[in-house]
Structure 1
Amino acid sequence: AAQAPGSTSPVAQSAEPTEPTPAPPGSRPAGATRDGRWWLQLDDPELTRLVERALGSNLDVRAGIARVEQARYVAMQAAAARYPDIGLRGTFATGTSLTTAAFGKSPRSTMVSGSIPVSYEVDLFAKNAQAHRAAKLRRTASERDLDALAMSLSASVAEAWYDLIDARAQGKLLGEQLETNRRYLDIVDSRYKQGLTSILDVRQQRQLVAQSEAQIALIAGQEQVAAQRLAVLLGSTPEGISGAPARSDDGAPAPADAGAPAAGPVATAEAYFAPARDTLPALPPTPIVDAPASLVQNRPDLRAIARRVQAADRQVASSIATFLPTVTATFTPTYQWLHQPLSPGLMQIGKLPTKAHAFTWNAGVTLSGPIFDGLLRHATTRLDIEQMHELIAEYSQAILGALVEVDSALVLERQQRIQITHLREQSRLASETLDTARDMYKAGLSDFLPVLTALQSEQAAQLQLLAAHRQLLSNRIQLYRALGGALPADMLGPKD
């Protein structure tokens, strides 16, 4: 069908989505963990650059790395109870004694000793071992939490990036529609001046022009908001994005050699993110959706909860062991040196030694056990058991939620494609209707109202089709996020 003057199809603003075609079955070995770098499938180098930068500089990722380190040191604390406790003790003492003072002037004596006390709790009932295993499992859960955070962050970056591109595509389409509306306004105004139409037609078309201008202003704001959101995801302020050119307060780009005083032009994030890009990417084939059981292996959030359930089970075993006796072995080697000069009275008795030193040691085993503690151990154990039950329920709910997320993403993508097919047909019919109404108007067979109605219908269909393409891409991003996957460890955190 012929297009109205200056009208465009939204297909030019967004790449055609491909039909869902399953990937080859052999593209990934059975049982292997899915590659979490899902954004590579979109073949968008700019998105890849943004995601990699976000994974390295996002502040939430840095906080997640700190939580992993905290869990690692907590595990080290739990491991310490499984090893001997070796200390070093030294003593220096000097003074006089009442015994020697009875025989005359009391000389000052000096004693120096050093010992290495060693104690070790014999873990007969694996109390400390189970606590250590629980701490290690919690550390692993923290690592999986970080992976889940990275997956969510990559999806958020992609959504913000394509919101930015979508705003540019809408701005471009609305700009072309505005030019079309102005051309129709010129036609109607010319016919009004010739007395061929009424002032009502002119005013209705002016209203449509004003409506397009208002939409453009709103879309410009949405572009700025998307760019600012993307900058924050990259761990920076919108004004602090590297390489962002300056823009004046009125929205116009500042000259290249113009300075940026504190109260003058400010940097704009939207101008930094590939300003020439205004088309959405075409979708690759629909990814393989494995059996539901594979979600437990591929989803890092499910793996994190599974590790916490295992850790809670180990903690219950450790708590039960506190009811049993504890055996502690001790060994202390000691070296002592003594210098004790004799008083004048004692020196007359005979020759006695004034200095002595010796190595001594003592060893022992202590057996201790609880008799009554006010039900403290009972309450602690029951608390650990109920916490384990809570985690099991959360794990089951998380699995159900993951299954629903995958199914919902597949259903929404399928229905979105059906909607796009109908919107294309609607846009085609609206264009044909506009052609017919315009020809009848030029021939004087109808007034301007059918033309105005057809023009509004065509432009609305174009915007709806563009929005449907954006929603289809969002559904695919959510499907990738729901399927999960593993990311290389070196992708997370700062690279310096």
Structure 2
Amino acid sequence: MRLALTSVLLCGLLLAGCSLYRPTRVSLPVEPPGRYVEDSGAVAAAPVLDRWWQIFHDPQLDRLMERLFTGNLQLEQAFARLEQARAATRIAGGARWPSLGLGGQGSREKVPGFVQNAVVYNYRFSAQSSFEFDFWSKQKDRQRSAMQLAAASRSELQTLYLSLSAQLADLYYFVAEQRAQLRLAEETVASCRETLKLVERRYRQGLVPAAELYQARQSLAAAEAGRSTFARNLATAEHGIAVLLGDYPGRGVSGNLAELPAFREQFPTGLPADLLQRRPDIAARFHQLRSADAELAAAIADRLPTLNLAANYGFLQTDFGIGVITGNFWQLLIQPALPLLDGGRRRAEVARNRAVVRERLAGYRQAVLDAYREVEDALADNHSDEQRIERLAAMVDATAANLRLARKNYLYGIDDYLQVLSAQRNALQARSELLAARRQLISDRISLARALGGTWMDREISRRFAASGENDNHE
């Protein structure tokens, strides 16, 4: 018996940690390109800026970013999810170790006898331990799966940092554009009022018909309505910034930037081969794939034989009233098991996990392609908006000159008021479109920075863990 027990234990130690599953080989759908198609190549070799918003050289935006990283509640939720994933890793790892517990039992019972009834007291104290030999690395694979999910959770947190920083910067410059648009609308309202006074004076002198007076009033009303639209957009954008910062919606939280920066600096893209290391969403997909792969290995091992070892050691005391029995007791239990019939449940679980691995492998490859597409799209948008700004700037100059000429001709009676109204509308639209295009170029720069990813988020996570006194361990 001892020889058989010793043989079983030795086999368990030798086979423990032996897995029958070979991990899935992860490959890209195609090799990454040597350069971005839409990149001019002038700044491709330059290293990508890490804290990308610093390219705008705006201390006010820098302060808002710091508030975002400390106050945003979406980040708070993501940190809590990361802690849950790390706790799940520790739970899965605990299954690989023996369990040990203390137990006790006390009873008092009345037992009938030949002469008289007896009262029996029982006291039992023991330590129990159990352990499952991990022959096929099942528990190890489950722990590995949990570790990969924890790594995926951290990558998702990095993705959230990147996304929120882009949202804040986009709203920040949208607010600046709306302030500029509002100021332009107020200038237009003032201009329309001056024009209305001129038309009213000429109408009273009998120089123009009533139709021109009504047209001037209509133009003033339209300008005032446009001003209300920009004021509403400004308010809602500032509300959005306040909520991003973890505060109630309010006004003035975005600072006082009233002019859009004339930002024409090229954003360095780096090399395409570096994109996979800079995109945390791709890393999250990869870790999720590895987690599914480990779950598949555990599902395969679950169909194989298992061996459990249980031990119990303690002290027993029984008082029969006429005498007391005391002493130590022990128990060693070996439980081999082999699943035979389970209705195909384990086989189906293996098939399900294989399908999950295939799904996540395809999802990882798709994420890689989407990442490169996002960079190329952002580069194309940047080039297109740069050209559009140049054309709109020329249009602004032309429409302004046309408006001056139309007003002059109207004063001299050469043209009617419709010419002034049309020139005024075209000049306002051109200036408004130029403002929107300049802000769109900044937005496209932000989209490019977001598409290129980064490494700065990891330092922010570590800094937050250090500030809270928690351990930033990479499990």
Q: Given the two structures, how large is their TM-score scaled by the length of structure 1? A: 0.79
Pairwise mapping of residues 293-304 of structure 1 onto structure 2 (< 5 A)?
A: 293-304=273-284
Q: Which structure is richer in relative contact order (CA contacts within 8 A, separation 6 or more)?
A: 1
Pairwise mapping of residues 340-489 of structure 1 onto structure 2 (< 5 A)?
A: 340-342=320-322, 354-486=323-455, 487=457, 488-489=460-461
In 1, Cα distance between equivalents of 2:46 and 2:230: 44
- Unaligned stretches of 5+ in structure 2? 1-39, 469-475
Residue 355 of structure 1 deviates from its aligned partner by: 3.9
Match of 1:92 in 2: 106
From 156, 164, 167, give the equivalent of 1:153.
Answer: 164
In 1, Cα distance between equivalents of 2:92 and 2:428: 66
1:237-277: per-residue Cα shift (whole Å, max 9, x none)? Answer: 32xxxxxxxxxxxxxxxxxxxxxxxxxxxxxx224432x43
Match of 2:63 in 1: 49
Match of 2:6 in 1: none
From 315, 326, 344, give the equivalent of 2:295.
Answer: 315
Could you tell me which amino acid in structure 2 is paired with residue 317 of structure 1? A
Residue 83 of structure 1 deviates from its aligned partner by: 0.8
Which structure is larger by alpha-carbon Rg, 1 or 2?
1
**Structure with the higher helix share, 1 or 2:** 2
Q: Does the Cα contact within 8 Å between 1:55 and 1:493 map onto a contact in 2?
A: no
Matched, 1:135 2:146: yes
Could you tell me which amino acid in structure 2 is paired with residue 61 of structure 1? L
In 2, Cα distance between equivalents of 1:493 and 1:144: 15
From 325, 330, 333, give the equivalent of 2:310.
Answer: 330
In 1, Cα distance between equivalents of 2:259 and 2:58: 11
Could you tell me which amino acid in structure 2 is paired with residue 87 of structure 1? G
From 102, 120, 136, give the equivalent of 1:125.
Answer: 136
Could you tell me which amino acid in structure 2 is paired with residue 485 of structure 1? G
Cα 1:364–1:160 shift into 2, 3 Å: same
In 1, Cα distance between equivalents of 2:264 and 2:64: 20
From 110, 113, 135, give the equivalent of 2:121.
Answer: 110
Q: Does the Cα contact within 8 Å between 2:238 and 2:254 map onto a contact in 1?
A: yes
Match of 1:192 in 2: 203
Residue 223 of structure 1 deviates from its aligned partner by: 1.3
Residue 105 of structure 1 deviates from its aligned partner by: 4.2
Percent identity over paired residues: 32
Q: Does the Cα contact within 8 Å between 2:46 and 2:270 map onto a contact in 1?
A: no
Residue 440 of structure 1 deviates from its aligned partner by: 3.3
In 1, Cα distance between equivalents of 2:260 and 2:292: 46
Residue 43 of structure 1 deviates from its aligned partner by: 2.1
In 2, Cα distance between equivalents of 1:285 and 1:456: 32
- Unaligned stretches of 5+ in structure 1? 1-19, 29-33, 239-268, 343-353
Residue 190 of structure 1 deviates from its aligned partner by: 3.1
In 2, Cα distance between equivalents of 1:470 and 1:338: 87
Q: Does the Cα contact within 8 Å between 1:223 and 1:270 map onto a contact in 2?
A: no
1:144-171: per-residue Cα shift (whole Å, max 9, x none)? Answer: 1122122222222222222222111101
Q: Does the Cα contact within 8 Å between 2:181 and 2:230 map onto a contact in 1?
A: yes
In 2, Cα distance between equivalents of 1:490 and 1:195: 77
**Match of 1:337, SS?**
strand
Q: Does the Cα contact within 8 Å between 1:323 and 1:377 map onto a contact in 2?
A: yes
User: Cα RMSD between the aligned structures?
Assistant: 2.5
In 1, Cα distance between equivalents of 2:56 and 2:367: 28
Q: Given the two structures, how large is their TM-score scaled by the length of structure 2? A: 0.83
Cα 1:196–1:407 shift into 2, 3 Å: same
Residue 408 of structure 1 deviates from its aligned partner by: 0.7
Equivalenced residues, count: 426
Match of 1:208 in 2: 219
1:429-469: per-residue Cα shift (whole Å, max 9, x none)? Answer: 11222233333334443333333322222121111111111
